[in-house]
Amino acid sequence: MRLVRNGKGIVALRSFRPGTTVLRIRGKIVDADTVWRYWQQGNTRRGENCFRFDADRYLNPEGDISDYANHACDPNSGIVKDARGLKLVAIRLIAAGEEVTHDYSTLLGADDVWTMRCRCGFPDCRGIVGNLLTLPPALLRRYRRLGIVPSFMLSI
């Protein structure tokens, strides 16, 4: 078993039960213009790794472990927003030694044109990761039931 599917990632050192917080996503809150500047300056990794925080703002996780959170089309965690900010929460049992992944599409709004070719290797891999509206309806319903589509995402 490969621990990390693509480059660097986050590997659980212990198991996490479904519904438990794996980690808090820490970083600097920046506006959309700042994220756009990362792209213009050629720092695509920086632009790609920012987490949507609300309709107008992003969270730049530079220097935080969450900077290495990878996507999977069959993820074992998801993003939850609470009063303290964003966190990764297990949506099924995560075993020690397993890579912690989430579905990037849950934080890509209808106004987000960014896409990514996916090589996650899961049988249901979508091939291209796009915004929330590109998710198969049944999968979006499942993610909403699990509480891993922050409510602000549904009004963007």
Judged by beta carbon, residue 67 or residue 103, the one nearer Zn ion is 103
Please report how close the Cβ of residue 5 comes to Zn ion at its closest, in angstroms: 9
Pick the stretch among 5-13, 47-55, 71-79, 92-100 that binds Zn ion (CB under 5 A). 71-79
Pairing of strands 21-24, 85-90: antiparallel
Q: Which two tokens stand for residue 92?
A: 């099924």
**Best CA proximity match to 105, nearest among 124, 83, 123:** 124
Hey, what amino acid is at 103? D
Pairing of strands 70-71, 101-102: parallel
Please report how close the Cβ of residue 127 comes to Zn ion at its closest, in angstroms: 7
Site for Zn ion in 117-146 (CB under 5 A): 118, 120, 125
The residues with which 78 forms a beta bridge, in sequence order, are: 89
Judged by beta carbon, residue 32 or residue 125, the one nearer Zn ion is 125
* Binding-site size, Zn ion (CB under 5 A): 4
Phi, psi of 139 (to 5 degrees): -70, -40
Site for Zn ion in 76-95 (CB under 5 A): none
User: 72 vs 85, 146, 155, CA distance in Å?
Assistant: 22, 16, 24
73 binds Zn ion (CB under 5 A): yes
Judged by beta carbon, residue 30 or residue 146, the one nearer Zn ion is 146
Site for Zn ion in 2-61 (CB under 5 A): none
The residues with which 54 forms a beta bridge, in sequence order, are: none
Please report how close the Cβ of residue 120 comes to Zn ion at its closest, in angstroms: 3
Residues that bind Zn ion (CB under 5 A): 73, 118, 120, 125
